[in-house]
Structure 1
């Protein structure tokens, strides 16, 4: 299954970085797409669904696991031509004083897409999301 992992360090406390990943709609102003909450999750946020796209065109992600300050996992629930797509984001303190983020996306397309093409697309999407979160973190500092 094609996957992509991006590691980066944010110059911000772990709780701030984690919040922007877990509360997906907080980064909407900093991305070229709209991100909005379409269904809240339980008290911890698990089960929350977010629409990413423009109006009714886009995908819906569902948060499947949250470990505050440590880990977030989600899947694509609808809107993409995939059999399975998951994202796993881990958070740790970095020796520099910031937050180390490891963001992995794995995708199994339902259409025949060459693995290198899909991997490159996943990496580009991950970097775009990280860039938006970096801007959101800077705006809240």
Structure 2
């Protein structure tokens, strides 16, 4: 089991369809962390769905994430598949419909390839989420 875990929970005042669509869209998803992203491979049944691949980050620092689970209105899971200082990575986002709001339970697990990298990345992810996610999600809140 990976040694690092970042758990991010947020209640969004928007219906589950809008929230899921936001998280499924690669470019919009990246704004949750203040990052840039582009889709480099379309998914099997949905452009941003199962087996789609996104490139995150600038130029030589970019890494690739592949969608490994895509259950509309329920769950998205992805793994880093290329170009990262992390290994054993999995990101899992679960969505719970609460009527006019949606509960997001997002967990990211990983190990660093070098000593000290894992804890540093965990701190950076948490800080980026706290800083950028509220502004990004405000776009879809009612």
Q: Same fold by TM (over 0.5)?
A: yes
Residue ranges of structure 2 left out of the alignment (5+ in a row): none
| Deviations 1:17-65, CA, capped at 9 Å, x for gaps | 1111112123457764321100111004101001111234311111000
Is contact 1:2-1:118 (8 Å) kept? no
> For residue 25 of structure 1, what is the aligned residue in structure 2?
27
Q: CA RMSD in A?
A: 2.5
Return 51-60 or 97-106, whichever deviates more.
Answer: 51-60
Matches for 1:51-66 after TM superposition, within 5 Å:
51-66=55-70
Residue 132 of structure 1 deviates from its aligned partner by 5.8
SS of structure 2 residue aligned to 1:123: helix
Q: What is the TM-score of this pair, normalised by structure 1? A: 0.82
Matching of residue 4 in structure 1 with residue 6 in structure 2: yes
Matching of residue 111 in structure 1 with residue 114 in structure 2: yes
Distance 1:28 1:125, change over 3 A: closer
Residue ranges of structure 1 left out of the alignment (5+ in a row): none
Count residues with an aligned counterpart: 138
